[in-house]
Structure 1
Amino acid sequence: MKDTAINLLKILEEAPGPISGERIAEQLGVTRSAVWKQIRELRRLGYGISSSRTEGYRLESKTNRLLPYEIHKRLRTRFIGKQIRHFDSTASTSWIGKKLAAENDPANLHGMVIIAEEQTGGVGRLGRAWVSPAGGIWATIVLKPKVPFDHLFMITMAGSIAVARAIRKEYNISALIKWPNDIFIGDKKVAGLLLELAAEADTVHYALLGMGIDVNVALDDLSSNLRDTVTTLQEEVGREVDRVALLARILREFELRYQQLEDGEYDSIIREWKSLSLTLDHRVAITTVNKTFAGEAIDIDEHGALIIRKDNGKIERVIAGDCFQL
């Protein structure tokens, strides 16, 4: 939003009742016509604003969009989300992040959050398509990590913890983490994360942490092949939920864990991840590029690999692959 629209919105928010267009124009130092133009823009962005010839304008309801102005009011972070780019629709927030990092010094983008109301070309792990309709949270956090190269994978762990904790705190729902990067409620997936690195040798130019969360998405809007394995927060809570409150909570929770990483508190992150794990101490099937096998997930190591005790008793270390609960 432009500054004029933001300032007008603040006037409406602070007004004890209806306020005339003339008075708004005086406070903003603009014409009545300019006031009307900004009122139309705010309505387009989803704000419910009533108007009366005798009384003036009144803010009746907030927008349901993930607008930077609304997020910043609830954020309370030091650097995560201080810069926000918002799009009604884009192919991928990750693509936007890569473009911005190529055009700017990534250090100046550290903590930026890129948000789309919908993605038309969202991509998940292993290049799989990620369905991203309106109503979800589709976001990418741009980072210039000060984390040792061999611990960068823990950025994903920090993000997974943040999403699971935020869902638990906002809705009292037992969200758990399925290795390597999915968030589940019960036996259905509600969110996923993906870490992308731009690096050469041991130098990391930037990292992009993408997250996709099915929030206010109707199950009917998902393809039939997804409905048995995917859920949404709206479905679990039984009502439309406040996406702004949830995203602000996630960003606060993530900044806390990310700071732990930069401070070298790796054990704290691993312990918390284990406490939220859906995978550990369960029988699982693993599919990698080269093979498929089953066994019990008994641990994760300091590099984020899943440790499996196979049915023949041998121990297998899995760095990457698909994990299915049995």
Structure 2
Amino acid sequence: MNETRLRVLEALADGPVSGPTLADSHDISRNAVWKHVEALREAGFGVESETEGYSLTTVPESGALALSFGLDAPFEVAHHETLDSTNRRARELAEAGASDVVVVADRQTGGRGRLDREWESPPGGVYLSLVCRPDLPLADAPLYTLAAAVATTQAAREAGVDAHIKWPNDVVVPRGMTASRTESDDVVVPRDGPDYDKLAGILTEMRGEADRVGWVVVGIGVNADAGSDDLPAGATSLRVETGERVDRRVFTQRLLESFDGLRGDPDAILDAWREHALTLGQRVRVETPGGEVVGEARDVERPGTLVVRTADGDVRVTAGDCEHLRPVE
């Protein structure tokens, strides 16, 4: 990241500002100011030259500088137009000692989900992986998955989508709970089929050191500005739900800021997860390594354990595939 260019960009946002003023305030030459302005234009920023000086008119949706500009969270942005997997690259950075880095790709060619399943990466998505070094015992590492789910849900809700969390790591939109708009007016049209469509998925990987977390990589894939024709069956996007184009830069920044606010407060993570959960109160079937668990999802406990009330009493599930059967009457 070119820190001087970012400072010039911030000055242009408060413009118009003259070239000489930029040169004096940033201790650079006027020729360097011109080079920074031209580089910003080449990166997709709208910079107008007026009598009073330069001013910023538009900001692109992607790019390291665009995502860093106005971001209120301490993450260094590593942006790629195309990458096989943001998690793979984030693991490399983590092993090299990086911290508080977010790897972002406009397109993934080899994304993976839980249980090494293929993760489809349609155009217009948000694909990122966070490299963190939390001061946590190993047992608490799953809290970062919960925090990512909450942050994604909150950013989606800010974008106008009634997102919820399906245990353990899916962000979904319940069917029948959002408006399906007709051409003439806004009318709620009941939707048939499963009780939710998938909006985002999360994959967390980690390495431990003794009894503490060494590093955590939190991968998040969101169907943001994807059209219905680009989505797999059972999936939805912010654009499909709202009927409007989505500014991926704004969405990504809100997600990162929300995650940053949550990661230092485990109790807040759990409370927010419960508030946004779709799974709680549902009758569920969970496929676990030890067999099938069927009952009512009652609660989630630290660090992400699902409490299921079965005919034989409460069962605590730490990992598994959860299927919603029906809401408990």
Shared fold per TM-score greater than 0.5:
yes
TM-aligned CA deviation for residue 64 of structure 1: 1.8
Report what 1:205 is aligned to: 214
Distance of aligned partners of 1:102 and 1:148 in 2 relative to their CA distance in 1, 3 Å threshold: closer
User: 8 Å contact 1:158–1:254 — kept in the other structure?
Assistant: yes
> What is the distance in 2 between the residues matched to 1:235 and 1:114?
26
1:248-298 per-residue CA deviation (whole Å, 9 max, x = no partner) reads 22222112211113xxxx3x4322211211001111222234544532212
Query: Would you say 1:97 and 2:97 are equivalent positions?
Result: no
Q: TM-score, normalised by structure 1?
A: 0.79
In 2, distance between residues paired with 1:140 and 1:120? 15
* Cα RMSD after superposing both structures: 3.2
Q: Do the aligned residues in 2 keep the contact of 1:162 with 1:250 (CA within 8 Å)?
A: yes
Quick check: 1:74–1:245 contact (8 Å CA) kept in 2? no
Aligned to 2:242: 237
What is the percent sequence identity of the aligned residues?
33
2:117 is aligned with what amino acid?
R
Contact 2:163 2:173 in 1 (8 A): yes
- 2:60 counterpart residue number: 63
Distance 2:159 2:265 in 1: 25
CA distance in 1, matches of 2:141, 2:261: 16
* Stretch moving more, 197-206 or 94-103: 197-206
Residue 95 of structure 1: CA displacement? 1.1
| TM-score, normalised with respect to structure 2 | 0.78
The residue number in structure 1 matching 2:203 is 194
Question: Partner of 1:287 in structure 2?
Answer: 287
Corresponding letter in the other structure for 1:165: Q
- 2:85 is aligned with 1:86: no
Equivalent in the alignment of 2:270: 270
Structure 2 segments unaligned to the other structure (5+ residues): 175-195
Following TM superposition, by how much is the alpha carbon of 1:171 offset from its aligned partner in structure 2, in angstroms?
2.5
Aligned counterpart, 1:324: 323
Within a 5 Å distance, the mapping from 1:1-326 to structure 2 comes to 2=2, 6=6, 9=9, 13-16=13-16, 29=29, 35=34, 39=38, 41-48=39-46, 60-65=57-62, 67-77=63-73, 79=74, 81=75, 83-104=76-97, 109-168=98-157, 170-186=158-174, 187-199=196-208, 201-222=210-231, 226-227=232-233, 229-261=234-266, 266=267, 268-289=268-289, 291-292=291-292, 294-310=294-310, 312-326=311-325
- Identify, as 1 or 2, the structure richer in helix: 1
Provide closer, same or farther for how the CA distance between residues 15 and 309 of structure 1 changes in structure 2, counting only shifts above 3 A.
closer
Match of 2:188 in 1: none
| Structure 1 gap segments, 5+ residues each | none
* TM-fit CA distance, 1:56: 10
